[in-house]
Chains A and B, each alone.
Chain A
């Protein structure tokens, strides 16, 4: 391999990746704290009170970034699964495996904070809104992936079976989303929509972006640490 190109496949070996992952994880953990403090400060103290919703709206600083991450992490997971199946690299499967619990966590947080917001605003913990329903199904998909890997003892089969499931899942997510959306409009359920929200103050947007960066860094740090634990367990 020439010196000027990045050693893509060099770092695909768990042994060389282990120290690199440690360094990246440490940097990302620090950044997550920095972004988190800045984001929470902006969200809780700097951002103005919403004219219609009052203080309740501040849950979006957790809720919206968590919902973004929940969907994004599934795609990243499926990407690593596809890389693993194509190049037969064990590290890619480890990445997919390490991302799943974090993705499920963010999906759960998005649902949970959503219902905390929904109770005072909509007057109910849960509505069968298209976004809520598809987020719930996304949580089931994460659980399916984790459960499948947990129930196969043989590592190689567990990794590959999980990879096939993740790819099938990622193909299905848009179909599920649109079918649920259509089902909801058909039923004429609660006609409350996120999309009709009034235009957002700049500080609110900054707070949300900072929190999104915080969750992003947190996901990288936690996933890489989990990969390091997996490598240390079966080198």
Chain B
């Protein structure tokens, strides 16, 4: 029953995103534009670009995934679907996890796929692409999962977007450090497995516990 509900929700959210493709494209374009601004501001010296590339890509990914967070529950909240989901038979934690998964597939996965292109612009060595992709693959779901708590807390508030960034960005710090750190370690010729394993551990812990915090936050926001 739970799996069916989860699958239905994921499919529904993906379908909704497919019908409004511009939303997905906007977050992706934002990611590319932010990453492209840094050379213009800092200068296009290849060595410098190579050394800042992991940090820039990760910060851009952080900002881009944060921008799309407010959409996670806002649409369903506006048309009343969210209240039905809260009242429904499926546990709210599962509902939240499914919605977060769909959100990541729509906003996080495209970042992982487009990141090598940015890395190319920054002249990152080809052998680092794999580490960059894996770190983003492990890290961006954490951003969606933790961000969902913030999105649920700020649901329907005035100035919700700015407030959301204030709540969520400090919590993103470990992911940024580990994600960018993994790529830098690999760039220095060391094994990035420590950072990647920690990212994986954080992903598991966040995926198990955060949806229940998000569920509690949603109940508070809707009561």
Contacts and interface: CB of A to CB of B under 8 A. Distances in A.
Interface in B135-182: 149, 153-154, 157-159, 163, 166-167, 169-171, 173-174, 177-178, 181
Nearest to A172: B171
A30 to B, nearest CB: 37
SS class, residues of chain B in contact with chain A:
helix
B216 A176 contact: no
Contact of A161 (B158, B170, B174, B220): B220
Contact of B181 (A140, A152, A160, A186): A186
A179 B157 CA distance: 32
Contacts of B166: 140, 143-144, 147
B24 interface: no
A147 B217 contact: no
Q: How many B residues touch the partner, as a band?
A: 20 to 34
Contacts of B220: 157, 160-161, 164
B157 A175 contact: no
Interface string B185-223: 100000000000000001000000000010011001101
B184 interface: yes
A148 interface: yes
A168 B221 contact: no
Contacts of B169: 140
Q: How many A residues touch the partner, as a band?
A: 20 to 34
Contact of A144 (B157, B170, B185): B170
Contacts of A161: 153, 217, 220-221
Interface in A165-210: 165, 167-169, 172, 175-176, 179-180, 182-183, 186
B177 A148 contact: no
A182 B154 CA distance: 32
B149 A175 contact: no
Interface of A: 85, 137, 140-141, 143-144, 147-148, 151-152, 156-157, 160-161, 164-165, 167-169, 172, 175-176, 179-180, 182-183, 186
Given A85-B216, A164-B213, 16 more contacts: A137-B173, A147-B166, A148-B154, A151-B154, A152-B157, A156-B223, A161-B217, A164-B153, A164-B220, A165-B153, A172-B174, A175-B174, A180-B173, A182-B177, A186-B184, A186-B185
16 contacts: A141-B170, A143-B166, A148-B167, A151-B154, A151-B157, A151-B159, A156-B223, A157-B223, A160-B220, A164-B213, A165-B167, A169-B170, A172-B174, A175-B202, A176-B170, A176-B171
